[in-house]
Structure 1
């Protein structure tokens, strides 16, 4: 059975007109039609990361069911922990077998672009229909001008904190600069409400925190030519700042993965974390945590000596492996999931967790439905890609996958290395990839 525009219209006939803003209607009218006919007897397997927001997974599965009903193509959706996605994707690419589609992280598509199905036709269709792709997410999914994946979502990162404890520490509003932020963390630690940021191998939280530390102080892993520049006075300042912050932390953050800060925060063990909307979402939807939810506030991370916001944010792209037996079915599936009726509902049900990568969806009402969602609304628009200031590619992806930057900060704050030794070790590790 072929999936066509007519099938899509049938499945979306009941969609609420209130969700369709003029920009979407205009863009859709201008878009050239595109359809893929699934192969005879096609079935698909998708491997995605485990959700932190229940509505994300539930709506993705509901949309998948709609696709199966429209096309007859069964889609099995499996999930893995965030940390396991990257190695499993690399194995599938190199071995040539596994799931047909995957949700991968950051610039991972640049590690094995020749193993991925080019989807420029679909990406250009969607971009033309929905206002274009944001540059940051697009850079992760393109190689030599060709799309080897579709930028699916940006999972924003922001400060999540207990408002009453911040005020108790003597701050009427949350600090907007790194200097004042350090003063707040010191005051919170003294008042018995320590803070905690991930120094462990958390794909999202560990990388987001480490890159913010580095970039906010003017440091960078490489320059515009891809020469490793991590061993610098700016990096030294970032490490020294991190060491002072670490003194205010709850014990054990050097071993944290992405789930640990959520758990500690919701257990009342600490007052401030950097996280997606998931921590607030969990409290808001658990009657036992109602009082905590009322006290939670969110805001963007403080601005450092560079004088402007510089944050990584976590991008996930949907890729199709070349070894799939059903490339047309896989493209039809992704097209269906990105169309307005499905994508708008998925963004809404994700409750601010998954930020749109196509510009036309920026008007989704979820971003104004709750003040806590606001700091996450422009994640795709404002993110700084991994690998700054050099180009994305195998080296940038490999350095992140090897946690070079995360380890540098962790080694210094825990006293395993001096700041200088930590920088030199990071420099040596990064050069293994950038000199290939």
Structure 2
């Protein structure tokens, strides 16, 4: 941590204003008092309602009071459904007023580069101190020239599955279906036992795209070439993937998934009506939190019958897409300095640590330093999430995760391509429709 004398800091800052060049959050901690410019101010931080409720409690009851003591800033945390964040962001930008900091999902920051402050000084400081950001964290929060948001975390996505039910059909742990064909056959057997797979194929920010994109990539399909301009979605590989998906859905999945949001599969799994679903670790964490509530059909704690595995392999390989989150500092804010110091402070390791601990592995952090945390020694069931973000690809592949990729993702074009086919549109027509939609985005 950088050292700075009180006299030097006051001379540089005119009474306590902390600039990045004087050491950022390190200077605040060294001085042991809040920067003068922030006294009496409020930071309004908009973020999602976490799927791990304990983490929201840590923010409200521990970190918010500490923020006022450390920075002289009253932290007003507003938590809403993740699916509502984009609408709130758009409304705030159009009206020129709203939250000071907005925690966005996926690569949504790429949609608003002109409406946010350059936070390169903060992001570079955090990355340097914490062994660097994951590539997925970097590409969603950096427009190639500057940081337009400060990465916050990456939520690992893995298949949660019922260990005993898979054992009944020949997959004794740690054995698990390795290919889509094997997974489909397993699904047929389980659905015949009224234990189908569950998957949201709908307009919801998390589970639908984190399944649809890696599935497409595993068949060799992609949106664009590496130049980021040539749209190549309408390919044999994509058509093959959709053809397989239609039969796979009928054979193995709960039909209700076409109307599910990101919480629906959690409820279905905890209720014992599905056997496997792509999700973060929230299902397991919730079952473990309430072992007397969530039980198997034999009356034993459900969490003891849950394991995690990556999505299966396809002809082109095995892929994952893990959901990143990052904090934007909005440009309609009159003075960005308090917001920058808040972002420095809350993302610093000592402050971030209790929030990370409360996540229990649901978040892997945005920087690689968190892979080394002792948290991972506590529960072997969570180990598949430890390095999940290293294997992640992001929408826009093989091109950049830029504004075009963000718009395609926000419009759920890749998800809808499969949903339309499942609902009866000829597979080739569904792919042609998606090709046209993606091309329109790139032509705009």
TM-score by length of 1: 0.90
Q: Is residue 8–residue 336 contact of structure 1 (8 Å, CA) maintained in 2?
A: no
Note if 1:231 corresponds to 2:239.
no
TM-superposition CA deviations, 1:367-396 (whole Å, max 9, x none)? 232122112112332210211011222211
Give the root-mean-square deviation of aligned CA atoms: 1.9
Hey, what's the Cα distance between the residues in 2 that align with 1:412 and 1:126? Answer: 44
Report the counterpart of residue 130 of structure 2 in structure 1: 130
Report the counterpart of residue 22 of structure 2 in structure 1: none
SS in 2 for 1:238: helix
Q: Please state how far the C-alpha of 1:38 moved relative to its aligned partner.
A: 3.9
Report the counterpart of residue 288 of structure 1 in structure 2: 293
TM-superposition CA deviations, 1:31-65 (whole Å, max 9, x none)? xxxx9764453211011011100222122332232
Hey, what's the Cα distance between the residues in 2 that align with 1:378 and 1:317? Answer: 19
Report the counterpart of residue 52 of structure 2 in structure 1: 53
Hey, what's the Cα distance between the residues in 1 that align with 2:306 and 2:36? Answer: 48
TM-superposition CA deviations, 1:280-321 (whole Å, max 9, x none)? 1111111211521111111111111113x2111111111110
Q: Please state how far the C-alpha of 1:6 moved relative to its aligned partner.
A: 5.6
Hey, what's the Cα distance between the residues in 2 that align with 1:275 and 1:368? Answer: 22
SS in 2 for 1:146: coil
Would you say how many aligned residue pairs link Structure 1 and Structure 2?
A: 412
Decide which of 194, 199, 208 is 1:206's aligned counterpart.
208
Structure 1 residues 322-331 or 276-285, which shifts more? Answer: 322-331
Report the counterpart of residue 262 of structure 2 in structure 1: 258
Report the counterpart of residue 155 of structure 2 in structure 1: 155
Hey, what's the Cα distance between the residues in 2 that align with 1:407 and 1:393? Answer: 20
Q: Is residue 311–residue 383 contact of structure 1 (8 Å, CA) maintained in 2?
A: yes
Q: Which structure 2 residues correspond to residues 19-418 of structure 1 after superposition, within 5 A?
A: 38-61=37-60, 62-172=62-172, 173-225=175-227, 226-247=229-250, 248-286=252-290, 287-290=292-295, 291-307=301-317, 309-415=318-424, 417-418=425-426
Hey, what's the Cα distance between the residues in 1 that align with 2:438 and 2:238? Answer: 14
Q: Please state how far the C-alpha of 1:244 moved relative to its aligned partner.
A: 2.1
SS in 2 for 1:174: coil
Hey, what's the Cα distance between the residues in 2 that align with 1:325 and 1:272? Answer: 48
Decide which of 432, 439, 442 is 1:434's aligned counterpart.
442
Q: Is residue 38–residue 73 contact of structure 2 (8 Å, CA) maintained in 1?
A: no
Q: Is residue 39–residue 73 contact of structure 2 (8 Å, CA) maintained in 1?
A: no
Hey, what's the Cα distance between the residues in 2 that align with 1:166 and 1:38? Answer: 59
TM-superposition CA deviations, 1:48-106 (whole Å, max 9, x none)? 01110022212233223211112221010001111111222222223321100011012
Decide which of 29, 32, 41 is 1:8's aligned counterpart.
29
TM-superposition CA deviations, 1:308-363 (whole Å, max 9, x none)? x2111111111110111341111111111111112222212111111111122221
TM-score by length of 2: 0.89
Hey, what's the Cα distance between the residues in 1 that align with 2:409 and 2:94? Answer: 19
Q: Please state how far the C-alpha of 1:409 moved relative to its aligned partner.
A: 0.6
Q: Please state how far the C-alpha of 1:420 moved relative to its aligned partner.
A: 0.5
SS in 2 for 1:201: coil
Q: Is residue 39–residue 71 contact of structure 2 (8 Å, CA) maintained in 1?
A: no
Report the counterpart of residue 29 of structure 1 in structure 2: none
Hey, what's the Cα distance between the residues in 2 that align with 1:379 and 1:256? Answer: 25
Report the counterpart of residue 27 of structure 1 in structure 2: none
Q: 1:351 to 1:11 in 2, by over 3 A?
A: farther
